[in-house]
Amino acid sequence: MRRIRDIVIGALCIGLLAGCTTSTGSGPLTCNLTTSPSGLGDVDISVTYSASGTGDGSISSLTYATNAGNVVVNNPTLPFNQQIQLSGGTQAMISANGKVTNGSLQIGYQATSGGGNANQSDSCQQST
């Protein structure tokens, strides 16, 4: 009789332990976004840089090219848009670092010159 009681108690303990589950979820996805240089040559370029997010996506650092060098914007408000002129062979390029758990992030540029256009973008997304 005592053996049956020990078996029942043991089975109950195993059942209680097996019934407990912990879900940690996937956590935030780290996004390192970048575009290729525009490659339009040594010409004047009109550029619109942009960054956007959906859900809980946020960008901690965004960098874009200007005639004076790279500009870094920490924690930019999304959506982000910046229109500038580039000259002297400076090429358009944008990059960003951010995180998203349930949503998306996207960066990009649209560049135009007298002789051509260049559009580049990069994005990341995650759903939970």
Task: Look at strands 29-34 and 94-100 and give their pairing.
Answer: antiparallel
Domains identified in the chain and CATH numbers: 27-114 (2.60.120)
Q: For the chain, what percent of residues have pLDDT higher than 70?
A: 80
* Residue 5 pLDDT level (bands cut at 50, 70, 90): very low
Region for 24 from its dihedrals, namely left if φ exceeds 0, alpha if ψ lies in -120 to 50, beta otherwise: alpha
| Residue 23: per-residue pLDDT | 22
57 Cβ contact list (under 8 Å, min separation 6): 31, 78, 98, 99, 100, 103, 104, 105
Per the prediction, the chain carries an average pLDDT of 84
0.95 surpassed by pTM = no
Task: Look at strands 94-100 and 58-66 and give their pairing.
Answer: antiparallel
